[in-house]
């Protein structure tokens, strides 16, 4: 007699459902949040009981190769450098430029005031 799905006598009806599971490991660069590496293990199977796989449909272990991993690390470093400029170096540079501008502006204002201070001349009062 024929066996259906390797599950016994071919004359008996077999009802199974398709189930899947997936294990995913992701490695992320913490400053930029960029994906650096990862691995995924998908598994699909038919079973009458989800805890007891009977017929495997697809089972694999997928991950980035060395070239892909190196590209992701380079992108993560680039993103982290850009974020450092935006969050640390940029504000420090802007504060320094602002401070210098404030000092120069104050010096110009004080210098201008001392050159253009009007002198008060009182006209003599008549009738005294």
The predicted-structure confidence for 41-94, as pLDDT tens digits, reads as follows: 999 999 999 999 999 999 999 999 999 999 999 999 998 888 888 888 888 888
Vertex 63 angle, CA 61 and 65, to 5°:
130
Top pLDDT among 116 and 65 is at 65
Q: Which pLDDT does position 87 carry in this prediction?
A: 85
Find, among 21, 20, 26, the residue nearest to 63 by Cα.
Answer: 26
Q: Which pLDDT does position 114 carry in this prediction?
A: 64
The whole-angstrom separation of Cα 38 and Cα 66 is 12
Q: Which pLDDT does position 11 carry in this prediction?
A: 73
Q: How many other CB atoms sit within 10 Å of the CB of residue 45?
A: 19
Q: Which pLDDT does position 3 carry in this prediction?
A: 61
Top pLDDT among 33 and 123 is at 33
pLDDT tens track for 3-47:
666 676 667 778 889 999 999 999 999 988 888 999 999 999 999
| Confidence category of residue 127, pLDDT binned at 50, 70, 90 | low
Judge whether residue 1 has pLDDT over 60.
no
């Amino acid at each position: 007699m024929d066996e259906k799905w390797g599950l016994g006598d071919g004359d008996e009806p077999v009802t199974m459902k398709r189930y899947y599971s997936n294990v995913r490991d992701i490695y992320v660069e913490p400053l930029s949040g960029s994906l650096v590496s990862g691995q995924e293990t998908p598994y699909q199977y038919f079973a009458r009981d989800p805890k007891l796989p009977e017929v495997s449909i697809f089972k694999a272990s997928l991950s980035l190769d060395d070239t892909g991993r190196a590209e992701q690390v380079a992108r993560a470093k680039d993103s982290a450098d850009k974020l450092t400029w935006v969050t640390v170096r940029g504000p420090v540079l802007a504060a320094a430029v602002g401070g210098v501008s404030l000092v120069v502006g104050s010096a110009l204002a004080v210098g201008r005031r001392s050159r253009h201070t009007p002198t008060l001349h009182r006209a003599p009062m008549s009738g005294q």
